[in-house]
Amino acid sequence: MALSQPGARERRGILLEDKLTDAIAKKTTPILLDLGYDLVDLEFVEEGVNRYLRFFIEHLSSETPVSVDDCQRASEALSDWLDQTDPIPLAYFLEVSSPGIERRLRKERDFVRFQNRMVQIHTNQPVNGGKTHLGLLGPVTKEKLILLQDRQECTFNRDNITEINLYWESNKEE
């Protein structure tokens, strides 16, 4: 996964074992594809005393919203595989959901698909005086990402970025 860095997802809980989630993603992607879903993201986190294995899915067409029935169907198939293979020797809760309106961008295809959309970037080190930035997603390379802020380009080193999410602005009353 493109932005797997220690501390990248600390806001939602303590990130556990990127190697483990990468291995699980590799094995479960075909299961989800057979059901007509794409694995958008996967995380294994600890929140308080509980651990959660979270799958974020969307339809392969990506135009159809993910329903509760879709999540249940994927959850049942994933649960069967997880029970048979037991890749996590700890107690955890399995969750399956859509990536949501402020989805995390991690894969290279996300950066292409959501170019010119409003995103929020979090960085390890301050850039232009801050660690959180809003702007339109511009071109992305393996090393750099360009964000358009107030009609000016701001360049970010990808190794300084901890998280990128789509940013949804609610309709403002004028």
118 is a domain residue: yes
Q: CATH no. for residue 15?
A: 3.30.300.70
- Residue-wise pLDDT for 23-37, tens only, equals 999 999 999 999 999
- How many residues are given for the chain? 174
64 lies in the same domain as 45: yes
- Residue-wise pLDDT for 48-107, tens only, equals 999 999 999 999 987 789 999 999 999 999 999 999 999 998 999 999 999 998 999 988
Q: Which of 97, 122, 157 is the last residue of a domain?
A: 97
Q: Any residues with CB less than 8 A from the CB of 47 and at least 6 apart, and which?
A: 12, 13, 14
Number of domains comprising the chain: 2
90 lies in the same domain as 127: no
Instruction: Provide the pLDDT for residue 17.
Output: 65
Q: Strands 14-15 and 37-47, how do they pair?
A: antiparallel
Q: What is the mean pLDDT of the chain?
A: 87
Q: What is the mean pLDDT of residues 106-124?
A: 92
Q: CATH no. for residue 114?
A: 2.30.30.100
Instruction: Provide the pLDDT for residue 166.
Output: 95
